Chains A and B, each alone.
Chain A
Amino acid sequence: MSNGEEQATVKRSKVEVGALLAIVLVAGLYYVNRRWISPLGRQDLSRGGAHPLAPDFSLTDLSSRKLTPADYRGKVVLLNFWATWCGPCREEIPGFVDLQRKYRDQGLVVIGISMDDDPAPVREFYQRYRMNYPVAMGDDALAERFGGILGLPTTFVIRRDGHIYAKQMGAVDVETFEEAIKKLLGETGAAGN
């Protein structure tokens, strides 16, 4: 191969590498764009990665009872951030009522955190939908402690040892939660991935 041909080959290789890098970059930017512009994209019940300890908090529920997650250590907790103005949230809640009824004796506790500004519509909803689990009023500070709540509903499934097993943003069929809950209820100790 002559010197000129060799140089042409090297030049072509550089162009090919450059093109490949450009494709990788565009793909990466597309992913970033989708993730940030569509923060409410449906996410599967996220189980992967670390399982941090669920943040502690102390609230008073609608029945004026103190609500502290530490009191539920040893139980499986389904912690649901919602609001009365959120249609998908309202659709999900009857399923949570069923889950609570079905698995209460096995150690499930469902907790609702309403992000409404006013408790009045929350109380009305609580009674109309015969909610059978504690509901308290949340705020931005509490949402921040849970890593920021981008949209509603956002639901955390918490293991008996207090560690977050999964997080679901957006409404899903109750069966999705039931599968996770049954698994965790079947575990006796702190294990569970």
Chain B
Amino acid sequence: MKKIASCFVLVCLLSSLTAGQNPKPVVEARILLGTDAAHANTLVKAAVIAQIASGFHLNDNCPTLDYLIPTELELDVPKELSLEKVVYPKGQPMRFAFSDLPLSVYEGTLGVGVVLRVGRKVVPGVYTLQGKFAYQACNDHACLPPTSVPLTLAVKVVPRAVALKTLNADDFDRIKFD
């Protein structure tokens, strides 16, 4: 009985520690490369995969109403790379109590495509870009302030003779780059 009571007290203490931690973020985002490395003077694809907590939505990159804050990817690329394009998914139309119009929003998991160009004369090495996935989340009756998830991506440039391996195929399949 003493052991059971001791275990119970210990578990309660652990639970209270858990309760004191920061709440889970509404959006978790990560940035991935489509290949394990890149060659100079070529295009390389990256993707930001964002997971939105159940019950919440983010505004489309092109919001339905002008006062809504869009979801946006901001990237700061090193001089060895250049940003060719960012491809946002199309949102889903959803109706909310606070709007007569259906709003185009993101729910669940979304993928934002990024196409980078590696400079012509870039020597082999690792080049890091920084960025943030900026969003503003709401549920049916309340909204969280605008915020962002910081992102860091290391792009390894290798000699042309080195073959590249495809990575994260499942994540890239959800993105329409063209």
Contact = CB atoms under 8 A, between A and B. Distances in A.
A85 B141 CA distance: 13
Interface in B118-148: 136, 138-146
Interface in B140-169: 140-146
Contacts of A84: 67
B143 A42 contact: no
Given A21-B4, A36-B23, A38-B55, A29 B15 contact: yes
Contacts of A42: 141
A153 B145 CA distance: 11
Interface in B72-97: 96-97
A21 to B, nearest CB: 5
Contacts of B143: 83, 85-89, 151-152
B19 A32 contact: yes
B142 A151 contact: yes
B163 to A, nearest CB: 43
A88 to B, nearest CB: 5
B142 A171 contact: yes
Interface of B: 1, 4, 7-8, 11-12, 15, 18-19, 21, 23-24, 53, 55-56, 65, 67-69, 96-99, 103, 136, 138-146
Interface of A: 14, 17-18, 21, 25, 28-29, 32, 36-40, 42, 83-91, 115, 121, 150-153, 169-172
7 contacts: A17-B4, A28-B15, A32-B19, A88-B141, A88-B142, A169-B142, A171-B141
The 5 closest A-B pairs by CB, nearest first: A91-B98, A170-B142, A151-B142, A36-B23, A170-B141
